[in-house]
A and B are shown apart, each in its own frame.
Chain A
Amino acid sequence: DAMVIQNPRYQVTQFGKPVTLSCSQTLNHNVMYWYQQKSSQAPKLLFHYYDKDFNNEADTPDNFQSRRPNTSFCFLDIRSPGLGDAAMYLCATSRNQRNQPQHFGDGTRLSIL
């Protein structure tokens, strides 16, 4: 089945130690998104790619970076994680059409020690 896959499902890192979360898709969608979601809150968009065009949200901290080396893969890099970065990180994909929904991966739950 075509899908969005996030690895790992759970990630533990140390305060200040860089961490990378990965997302891959077999849907061939041209838009990929990264969201941060804290407990009982709505997902917060960090950035998205439309093909290779990177779109950063104004309030996304500089600590968060992203790479999309090809259509299928997208990475979220957190350069120096703080305790406040502990959250669920959701990757989603979509076609570039207004009537198209997002398809989400299962998420990566990040813990900071």
Chain B
Amino acid sequence: AQKITQTQPGMFVQEKEAVTLDCTYDTSDQSYGLFWYKQPSSGEMIFLIYQGSYDEQNATEGRYSLNFQKARKSANLVISASQLGDSAMYFCAMREAGNQFYFGTGTSLTVIP
């Protein structure tokens, strides 16, 4: 079974609108971390936001927020007030015990002017 599932290969959003990128995960661990990364066309992977499994509040970082629903095992990324520079691939990842990160297949976001 896939550890991380991102079901949206591509998404479009109008500039200044909000967009939600979906991520579901599969783990039997009680303690784990969820991460979102942005990868522009230039190739570097940029860490955006983190959510711990025991965190009761949804994580927020500027225009990024994480809609964490533990019972549903989902950790969706919300980008508010989209900008042209937000056009990129977005990867959801999970870290369980140990040092391995599990990545989803990514969502390609295009912001339309």
Contact = CB atoms under 8 A, between A and B. Distances in A.
Contacts of B89: 40
A63 B77 CA distance: 37
Nearest to B43: A107
Contacts of B35: 101-102
A88 B101 CA distance: 18
B33 A48 contact: no
B43 A88 contact: yes
Contact of A41 (B33, B101, B105): B105
Contacts of A48: 99-100
B31 A102 contact: no
A101 B97 contact: no
A43 B45 contact: yes
A99 B52 contact: yes
Interface residues of A, number: 26
A90 B93 CA distance: 15
B44 A42 contact: no
B43 A109 contact: yes
Given A45-B101, A98-B95, A102-B101, A107 B44 contact: yes
A106 B100 contact: no
17 contacts: A31-B99, A41-B106, A42-B105, A45-B101, A48-B99, A88-B43, A96-B99, A98-B31, A98-B97, A100-B95, A102-B35, A102-B45, A102-B47, A104-B37, A104-B44, A105-B44, A106-B44
> Which 7 A-B pairs give the minimum distances between C-beta atoms?
A104-B45, A42-B103, A101-B47, A106-B44, A107-B43, A31-B99, A98-B33
